[in-house]
Structure 1
Amino acid sequence: MKIFSGWRRFVFCLPLVFLLTHLLSVTELHKNPEMEETHKQLNKKFDHLVFGPAAGQGLSNRLQCEGTKALNRTHSSNSRSGVDGSITFVTVFTIYNSSLNNVDDKSSNTIVGNASYNKVGRSMAVLNVFINFIQVAMPQSKVIILTDPISDLSVHRNGVSVYPIQGEYSRDKLMLQRIRSYITFLETRLQMLSQKPRIITHYIFTDSDMAVVDDLGKIFHEQPDFHLALTFRNNKAQPLNSGFIAVRGTPDAILRAKLFLQEVLKIYTSKYMSASRMLGDQLALAWVVKSKPNFDTSRFAKALAFSEDIGGTSVLFLPCALYNWTPPEGAGQFHGMPLDVKVVHFKGSRKRLMLEAWNFYSSSPDIEDMLCLILGSGRTKYDF
């Protein structure tokens, strides 16, 4: 009995011992300014790119870089090969009133290189860099920004226009609204073509945190039969990413794409409203595609393009590894970067890397390939 009694007293005193040790450590830290400064520096987040060895060296199916020069790409990301003016990029973007109210709040500012951004400034900087990349890779293409009519959005750029569409643009419903905006936009294109046939314009719907680094017009030239293109990855629950959707500009293709997205919207609102803030659209996309009888989902495991008829719509499936590649969050990008990436998707906090990469790329004549710059990023964690 005495042994158990002593053990209980020991366990009871443990929290007190840890508390006293912590208090002594904090007291010592405040007594020593140099130690406190060192502690702050260790916890300070980087505000600039940190370069490390590029992953994938020696692997034949991965990008090989010598500094910022690509050794085995078939097309350089700064080749400015895009001379086809038949491509229009479409993105949904809005500014929230709550962000405007905090426009002078310095406490939420983020430093990227030599620039300091508040919440609105960060969003606008990402949008402008999105446009910059398109205008470098495909200088003849245009950009249309679908937005909330009450959003005070003004973008004065050549080849860029703002198209207001009524809807619900709250954060919780933005992914849902994005599909609705795409459908409305396609309906307007159909009306225009019915009233006055014109030169065919193909549309690529993308998130605004993407960097186009190669000419995407080849999709429509080399794959002449599809109506709509989606990007896929080897992910059982979410094999399709909605950040990139290409639509051929013929009346039939626009109609089929609109009907396909209407079916996605129907499934979204009936099955996945609990995921309306995020992922609901991707889950709905996967449901519509997988609902086709005998659809072979094993093809998502290989990064090879393929086509399939889904409810009367000819869908081209493009691998995310090339058309929607996301740098893993951290240095080295694991096993490297796939060859000939055409679109880089800077999801979430990676938007900082998007801004930093553009700043380096546009200001230094020594950087020959944007992808080598991104591949060599040694940032261990983004903080945007």
Structure 2
Amino acid sequence: MKIVSGWHRLVFCLASIFLLTHLFSVMELHKNSKMEEPHKQLNKKFDHLVLGPAAGQGLSNRLQCQGTKALNRTYSSSSRSAEDGSITFITVFTIYNSSLNDVEDKSTNTIVGNASYNKFGRSMALLNVFINFIEVAMPQSNVIILTDPVSDLSVPQNRVSLYHIQGEYSRDKLMLQRIRSYITFLETRLQKLSQNPRNITHYIFTDSDIAVVDNLGQIFHDHPNFHLALTFRNNKAQPLNSGFIAVRGTPEAILRAKHFLQEVLKVYSTKYRNASRMLGDQLALAWVVKSKAHFDASRFAKALAFSEDIDGTSLLFLPCSLYNWTPPEGAGQFHGMPLDVKVVHFKGSRKRLMLESWNFYSSSLDISDMLCLILGSGRTKYDF
């Protein structure tokens, strides 16, 4: 009887251990599923704006918001700069056959506000919003679109023109082609200046997914000696962003800028060819600048403009926080939006937010309130 009783106790203990192990496994699985659920929701891409608290609350030099209402005003230029009419914005833009083929396919359409967009329509809408913001902030400036000769673009807006440049505009080579197009364009400007040297026009080369929210003429007025200006951030691997490049319109500055970009293109084509689809241009920019022994890269850590001579080219470095500010994705940015921000860059998965921002501005006509919308909704992914 003792043997049987001992056997029963052993079976009971083994069964208890199995049940407890199974119970703990189920509890752990349930716990992990709860932990993963918010992560999945965080990565979810929304088809509408989701407003949250605006970063930078309580900081005197940051935009303060209550919902989409600005509690303080951005330092927008009250008077138009004398440089306004002598500035031309340049962007590279092309249309791919795959986008045109989707014109009749409504299954992939995206709704933004009261409008429905296919892939082609989304691209054109973003280009038009890019132009619209420039017309609001700098109504006397011009826009030139560098594009593939085979692109059938139609942009019926005042002070906007197309400039066709032959090249390789495939997605894999577009960033390389962009630098080539910039160089070709600058060469044509040099030729025109040789015929009329008094016709000075300054140039700002940008991505087409930016919003100019303040007059940029002060760059050329406040910094009269630079040849070419770049925007920087505190990022060790990629401190320079290629989405905003300013060039003074004098013959010497254009020539120096052309030579600098030719050096960037050379480095891009040799050292970073594998990154030709994206990032290679920024890596090449950083290499050309940081490879100079006298250059102090620690200055990228402070958001203060500074100048440096790079092989005879006078470079002006402008902080991204003002001239290339990007809405945060996730909780990565806690310092909010500077009051004197000039340019908002809707790169990556922020394209919908660019269209939503223009729609909001069209109904409110208030830049500061629109910036609150951007600041409050920049914590969610809004890709098309």
Task: Calculate the aligned-residue CA RMSD, in Å.
Answer: 2.9
Give the Cα separation in 2 of the matches to 1:360 and 1:333: 23
Q: Residue type of the partner of 1:111? A: I
Give the secondary-structure state (helix, strand or coil) at the position aligned to 1:85. helix
Q: Confirm or deny: 8 A CA contact 2:325 2:344 kept in the other structure.
A: yes
Query: Identity over aligned residues, as a percent?
Result: 83
Q: Which segment is superposed worse, 368-377 or 158-167? A: 368-377
Partner of 1:199: 199
Contact 1:109 1:117 in 2 (8 A): yes
DSSP 3-state at the match of 2:205: strand
User: Residue 148 of structure 1 aligns to which amino acid in structure 2?
Assistant: D
User: Which residue of structure 1 lines up, in the alignment, with residue 165 of structure 2?
Assistant: 165
Runs of 5+ unmatched residues, structure 2: 1-10, 27-42
**Contact in 1 for aligned 2:94/2:169 (Cα 8 Å):** yes
For 1:113 and 1:331, locate their aligned partners in 2 and report how far apart those are by CA, in whole Å.
26
Deviation at 1:82, TM superposition (A): 5.2
d(CA) in 1 for partners of 2:284, 2:332: 33
User: How much has 1:150 moved relative to structure 2?
Assistant: 0.5
SS of the equivalent of 2:187 reads helix
Cα offset, 1:52, TM superposition: 2.7
Give the deviation of 1:364 after TM superposition: 2.6
Alignment CA distance shift 1:109-1:80 (3 Å): farther
**Structure 1 Cα separation of the partners of residues 378 and 220 of structure 2:** 36
1:245 aligns with 245
C-alpha distance in structure 1 between counterparts of 2:379 and 2:115, whole Å: 18
Write out aligned runs for 1:318-329 (5 A).
318-329=318-329
Amino acid at match of 2:280: G
Q: Determine helix, strand or coil for the equivalent of 1:140.
A: coil
Change beyond 3 A, Cα 1:70–1:163: farther
Which stretch of structure 1 is more off in the superposition, 50-59 or 150-159? 50-59
Number of paired residues? 354
Change (3 A) 1:47 1:185: same
2:75 equivalent in structure 1:
74
1:275-315 superposed Cα distances (whole Å, 9 cap, x missing partner) = 00010000000010011122100000000000000011000
Q: 1:80 to 1:101 in 2, by over 3 A?
A: farther
Deviates more, 1:103-112 or 1:276-285: 103-112
Does 2:368 correspond to 1:383?
no
Task: Tell me: CA distance 1:289–1:367, structure 2 relative to 1, closer, same or farther (3 Å).
Answer: closer
- TM-score using structure 1 length: 0.85
Change (3 A) 1:198 1:336: same
How far apart in 2 are the matches of 1:200 and 1:369?
36
Structure 1 residues 317 and 366: alpha-carbon distance in aligned structure 2, compared to 1, 3 A threshold: closer
Partner of 1:99: 99
- The 5 Å alignment of 1:1-384 reads 46-66=46-66, 67-75=68-76, 81=80, 84-330=84-330, 334-365=334-365, 368-377=368-377, 380-384=380-384
Q: Which amino acid letter does the alignment assign opposite residue 80 of structure 2?
A: S
Distance 1:141 1:367 in 2: 19
| Counterparts of 1:368 and 1:304, CA distance in 2 | 23
Q: CA–CA distance in 1 between the matches of 2:69 and 2:373?
A: 6
What does the per-residue CA deviation read over 1:71-112, in whole Å, with 9 as the maximum and x for residues that have no partner? 153226xx5735620000000000001111122112221111
Q: Quote how far apart the aligned CAs of 1:330 are.
A: 4.1
Post-superposition offset of 1:57? 0.9
In the TM superposition, residue 70 of structure 1 has moved relative to its aligned partner by: 4.9
Cα 1:70–1:333 change in 2 (3 A) is farther
* C-alpha separation in 2, matches of 1:306 and 1:376: 31
Q: Contact 2:322/2:342 (CA < 8 Å) preserved in 1?
A: yes
Of structures 1 and 2, the larger Rg is shown by 2
Q: Which amino acid aligns with 1:271?
A: K
Whole-angstrom distance in 2 between the partners of 1:191 and 1:282: 28
Unaligned runs of 5+ residues in structure 1 are 19-42
**Offset from partner CA, 1:323-363 (integer Å, 9 cap, x none):** 00101124795331123110000001101001001001112
Q: Runs ≥4 in structure 1, deviation > 6 angstroms?
A: none
TM-score (norm 2): 0.85
Q: Is the 8 A contact 1:55 1:332 kept in 2?
A: no
Does the 8 Å contact 1:82/1:215 carry over to 2? yes
Q: Residue 70 and residue 231 in structure 1: after superposition, are their counterparts in 2 closer, same or farther (change >3 A)?
A: farther
Q: Using the alignment, how far apart are the partners of 2:92 and 2:366 within structure 1?
A: 34
Q: By how many angstroms is 1:226 displaced? A: 0.2
Q: CA deviation at 1:61?
A: 3.3
> How many angstroms apart in 1 are the aligned matches of 2:335 and 2:48?
23
How many angstroms does 1:366 deviate by? Answer: 6.7
Per the alignment, residue 31 of structure 1 pairs with none
